Chain A
Amino acid sequence: MKSNFLKLVLPAFAILLAVGLAFATEDKTILQIAHYYDTVDQEWKSATAEEGCGEDGENPCLYDGYQLYSAPNFGSIQLHKE
């Protein structure tokens, strides 16, 4: 009985606990640094992205009117938020 508890119940409980914790502590992900191309200075600059900016969402994440990107190149991900 004790052996079964150690072999089956406890690991199963651990997995459930871990997955549950992952969902429970899910927060709005904050992207710290994003990039935009400054058309006036014609160079890539870095900025802090808003909370909730990521690859999903309908509204573009902007900084000073410029579209934010995940990396300083146009091939990277355009950041959006819900």
Chain B
Amino acid sequence: MKLFHIHKNNVVVAIAILYIILFVYTASSKLMHLGVFRLRLERMPYIAPYAQWISWGIPFLELVIAGLLLFHGYRLIGLYGSLVLMLLFTGYIIAVLQFSNSIPCSCGGVVSALGWKDHILLNISFMILALLGILWSKKQNNIQATQKSVQ
């Protein structure tokens, strides 16, 4: 049973590492081409008026969440943040695709080369990972709390 918990802990760490790679990678790509990222946002429906703010805000938020995922104490908050960010991205993509299927992707790096369906699949996969991470982190925290109260 203990071995099972250790493995779960490792899986949560692995999920956090995957998210760190994803967020640091996409944030770096966006920041390297901030002007182009802003140009793309300006062509997106609904959010075009806020392109200036979003072009700085999203990479900043991604880096903050990656930072939270680094530390064991903040990992659960980081996983919640990742899940919310992914939900927002995916919800926005799906909403926009109701009107057009030729929207320029404003995502960073090679992710922008993905088609919209692939993009949604990637996001859903990451959301499932975040959910698993949250569930297992919570269980682990509960076990640790129980052990402390017993001692």
Contact = CB atoms under 8 A, between A and B. Distances in A.
Interface string A14-57: 11011101110110010111000000000000000000001110
Interface residues of B, number: 27
Contact of B42 (A22, A26, A56, A70): A70
Nearest to A19: B28
Q: Which of B22, B28, B39 has the most CB of A within 10 A?
A: B39
A72 to B, nearest CB: 10
A29 B37 CA distance: 10
Contacts of A15: 20, 24, 66
A71 B42 CA distance: 8
Contacts of A54: 33, 35-36, 39
Interface in B90-110: 104, 108-110
B30 to A, nearest CB: 9
Interface in A49-82: 54-56, 70-71, 76-77
Contacts of B66: 15
A6 interface: yes
B42 A18 contact: no
Contact of B29 (A6, A7, A11, A26): A26
A55 B40 CA distance: 12
Nearest to B110: A25
A47 B56 CA distance: 27
Contact of B28 (A6, A7, A22, A77): A22
A29 B113 CA distance: 11
Contacts of A70: 39, 42
Contact of A55 (B13, B22, B36): B36
Interface in B26-84: 26, 28-29, 32-33, 35-36, 39, 42-43, 66, 70, 72
B25 A22 contact: yes
A7 B21 contact: no
B17 A14 contact: yes
Interface of B: 10, 13, 16-17, 20-26, 28-29, 32-33, 35-36, 39, 42-43, 66, 70, 72, 104, 108-110
8 contacts: A14-B20, A14-B24, A18-B25, A19-B24, A23-B28, A25-B110, A26-B109, A33-B104
